[in-house]
Structure 1
């Protein structure tokens, strides 16, 4: 298997992970009236997961 094919497969896997993270069942787990440092828990989850996905995508895209 050549390297560009592996990179593409990892990108597809991260896309599927993003779909899973931002789909209803997981979002419903964090939709509570609790706060983290004054920020609603759902917002912390959404922006944390988004930042994590961006970091993973950057890592996969830049890896040689």
Structure 2
């Protein structure tokens, strides 16, 4: 069963991921250095989101 605290953290992660993948931030990454940084930005942000989700969903004894 998911605790309310874990649910709040996952909702926060969803909000953060939504913010990081909004078009204004993607366009900023696309315009830096002739579009070289967009794939790097997408890869890094996607990895961070997956890593945080794995960390949050892994069962912790204190939750």
Q: Output the TM-score relative to the length of structure 2.
A: 0.81
The aligned residue for residue 40 of structure 2 is 44
Q: Residues 4-43 of structure 1: matches in 2 within 5 Å?
A: 4-32=3-31, 34=33, 40-43=36-39
Number of residue pairs the alignment of both structures matches: 59
- Bigger RCO (CA 8 Å, 6+ sep): 2
Normalised by the length of structure 1, the TM-score is: 0.80
Structure 2, unaligned runs of 5 or more: none
Runs of 4+ residues over 4 Å off in structure 1? none
CA distance in structure 1 between the partners assigned to 2:54 and 2:33 by the alignment = 31
Alpha-carbon RMSD across the aligned residues, in angstroms, is 2.0
